Structure 1
Amino acid sequence: MNTSELLSRLQKDSRSISNADISLARAYAMEAVEHVPEPYKTIYSSDYFIFLYESFLEIRKCRPDEIVIREIDPADYEAALSSINEKNDPGDRKRDAMNRFISIVHIYLTFIVKKPLHPVGMIFPGGLKITEDGIFYYCPVKDKQTETGISFCEFCICKNSEEQ
């Protein structure tokens, strides 16, 4: 499969996400950080969800001639989908909605537009941020999050900030 074919698939899948699903996903994002202190609570919920939603809207309006056509490694693609599906709980409507939403957005960011899974400039504890140098993206927590079992960092295109 190539990026054009994947974009077409993601656009089709995006049409199955209703406004109610988006509301449930947003509620999940808000609840997931309810015990996190400010300003991180807002950054990891509202701000991050806005980034995801804007990426979702970008998918819906993206035209195949706006992307670079390249082959997608089937093993990497299946591993990313499997990781997302492993974190799902169909019995939890909010989490299920969030995972379906993320399965579209994260795949788009990772395989089609090659962007980080968090917005550039997003602040992490200690004041560290996701940065870019015009060629690569860097994340200050990539190597700390890949083994938590809840993140998708292993699929993010960011390099560890220490590689800068």
Structure 2
Amino acid sequence: MVETIEELDFSRKISKNELLGVLKQEASRIHMHDIMLASAYIQEDAKYMHAGYREEFIENFTKAFINRFKDIREDKGNYEGHINNKKFQEFLEVLNKQIKGSKLRSELYFLRLAKIVSIYTTFILEASIHPVGTSFPGGFKLKFENGVYLCPVKDKQMNTPGALCRFCVSKQDKSVE
């Protein structure tokens, strides 16, 4: 049985259920201390944000991050279909480049956890990478309306090298353009 993301065989179709099993294996190796270090990075990363926005961001993002991680561990769902191997490999390239470039220990822990969470969200749930309600500069928030995730910054981030926006199912919120 495949136990890590790196062991996946991209020469064949990978089912969502197989990927979920691998993510559960990866998640089982994450400890509370790792989550605490990742949370510390979220706080450190947000230190230059506007004060009012910063506190809300840290609280919402940390809560959503931890809840999503818990969801992975407890997910007993049966997911139809296969992942898009090409898109998944491109996604991993972006994430692995970020991990290799991490300078802080807390950043490394955050990126390792974010890798598991973002893969789960993007390829298993096919949901927005950022949680609904995530605030962005300008007071805009990610919304879910009529079965569509609406992101206020999607189009502006599509060509940002380290951004995962190009893989996210969210659509640009046209009311923000």
Which of 71, 80, 85 aligns to 1:69? It is 80
Which of 34, 38, 51 aligns to 1:25? It is 38
Which of 66, 70, 73 aligns to 1:60? It is 73
Equivalent residue, structure 1, for 2:115: 103
Q: Secondary structure at the match of 1:39?
A: helix
Check if 1:160 corresponds to 2:177. no
Equivalent residue, structure 2, for 1:15: 28
Counterparts in 2 of 1:39 and 1:163: CA distance versus 1, 3 Å: closer
| Identical residues among aligned pairs (%) | 31
Which of 124, 130, 135 aligns to 1:118? It is 130
User: How far is 1:163 from its partner?
Assistant: 8.4
Tell me if structure 2 keeps the 8 A contact 1:30–1:46. Answer: no
TM-score by length of 1: 0.91
Counterparts in 2 of 1:97 and 1:44: CA distance versus 1, 3 Å: same
Q: Secondary structure at the match of 2:131?
A: coil
User: How far is 1:118 from its partner?
Assistant: 1.3
Counterparts in 2 of 1:91 and 1:132: CA distance versus 1, 3 Å: closer
Tell me if structure 1 keeps the 8 A contact 2:94–2:162. Answer: no
Cα deviation digits, residues 98-119 of structure 1 (max 9, x gap): 1110110000000101111112
Which of 142, 155, 176 aligns to 1:130? It is 142
Consecutive unaligned residues in structure 1, runs of 5 or more: none
Equivalent residue, structure 2, for 1:50: 63
> RMSD between aligned alpha carbons?
1.8
Residues in 1 aligned to 2:15 and 2:175: alpha-carbon distance in whole angstroms? 29
Cα deviation digits, residues 77-116 of structure 1 (max 9, x gap): 1111111111113653111101110110000000101111
User: How far is 1:54 from its partner?
Assistant: 0.3
User: How far is 1:13 from its partner?
Assistant: 0.2
Residues in 2 aligned to 1:92 and 1:125: alpha-carbon distance in whole angstroms? 25
Consecutive unaligned residues in structure 2, runs of 5 or more: 1-13
Counterparts in 2 of 1:44 and 1:152: CA distance versus 1, 3 Å: farther
> After TM superposition, what 4+ stretches of structure 1 lie above 6 angstroms from structure 2?
none
Cα deviation digits, residues 55-89 of structure 1 (max 9, x gap): 000000001xx243111011111111111111113
- Equivalent residue pairs, number: 162
Equivalent residue, structure 1, for 2:96: 85
